[in-house]
Every structure is written in C-alpha cells, then in structure tokens.
Copies of this chain bind each other. A is one copy, B any other.
Amino acid sequence: MSTASKVLAELIDALRCLPGVGAKSAQRMAFHLLERDRDGGRRLAAALTAAMERIGHCRQCRTFSEEPVCALCAGAARDRHVLCVVESPSDLAAIEQATGYRGLYFVLLGRLSPLDGLGPDELGMDLLRRRLAEGEVQELIVATNPTVEGEATAHYLAQLARDAGVRATRLAHGVPLGGELEFIDRSTLAHAFGGRQALD
C-alpha cells in the first residue's frame, strides 16, 4: 500500500500479523488509532510488550501464565480431584465462561498429530502421567475437540487414565441447544440417539 509515511506503512504491515486482519482492515485500524485513539495505541503497545515478554506456561497445567504456577492451579478454591484436559488455553477459557466447572485443567497445547511432529512428548503427556500417578486426581474429563485428531488424542488419554486407575469421562456428543433435528448431521444425530438419557 502506498502511503506518504514509512512508519505508517510499517504499522499497517505489522497489524496484519493479527488473525483475520487483511490489508484493508489493517489500514483502517492504523488510521483509527492515529486519528482518534493514540492513548489506546500506546496502551496496546505496552500490553503487547508485557504479554510477549512475561507470559509463559504454568508448570502444572501448561496454560498461559506470567507466574510459574497459574492462579487457577495455585488457588485454594478449586476441586483438586477433577482434572479437565483441553487442547488449548482458548478451550479452557470457553469452559470457564460457559460452565460452572470448579476443578482444575491440563492444557495439551495441541493434539496428537504425528504429521505435524506433535507426539505425546510435545503434549506434556509425561507430566500428565506423573500427575495421575500422584493419586490426587479421581476423574479425568477429556475435553478434546470432536475432530479426527482430537478423538485419537482422547483415546490416548483414556488409556493413560486406565493405566493410572483413574476414571476417565468425556464431554457428551449430541444435539446442540436450539438446533433442529431435521438439519443436524447424521453422525451427531446417531451419537445423540445412542446416548439418549432417562427423562425422570
């Protein structure tokens, strides 16, 4: 894009590293910040620097944290007998926002995908195995995504739990709320039918 200013061109280019931001949006964002919200721009720069430098991973659950152990793992209020395994910190955030879950988490930071070089070692399965061996966890909730790779990861996790003598559960498949049976894909409907529950 041709602008009169090199610094501006660099800002527009740098904004394109954000997901879902193309050339047009990047230009709009840059002009917006310069014209109307320079303070916001400065605050964003500071927040980015702080986050990129200071946020690492929690030693216990591998989610994002600027402390060695994240607030969730360190907090006394959570139930330490239940451990929910998710693929990414955004899945953790989704479960935290939607459900009343009060247990702890373990974040894989990926899913089993040998073609991408993601095996059990990269996903911290050793850490999880040691955690289960400690005996504190009584239920392992497997909340990987219902994709092919997520299902493979779920099977691996189930085996891990079985070896440690821990009960493993997984999120229910079924009809989403507000959906219409007529328009739901066949495999989801089959799962919902097979997993039907008593009405009492």
Contacts and interface: CB of A to CB of B under 8 A. Distances in A.
A116 to B, nearest CB: 13
A186 interface: no
Given A45-B49, A64-B4, A40 B19 contact: no
Interface residues of A, number: 60
A153 interface: no
Which are the 8 A-B pairs with shortest beta-carbon distances?
A17-B40, A14-B47, A45-B48, A4-B70, A11-B51, A14-B44, A41-B52, A11-B47
A42 B48 contact: yes
A8 B40 CA distance: 16
A97 B35 CA distance: 20
A14 B35 CA distance: 17
A179 interface: no
Interface in A1-56: 1-8, 10-11, 13-15, 17-20, 25, 27-35, 37-38, 40-52, 54-55
A19 B28 contact: yes
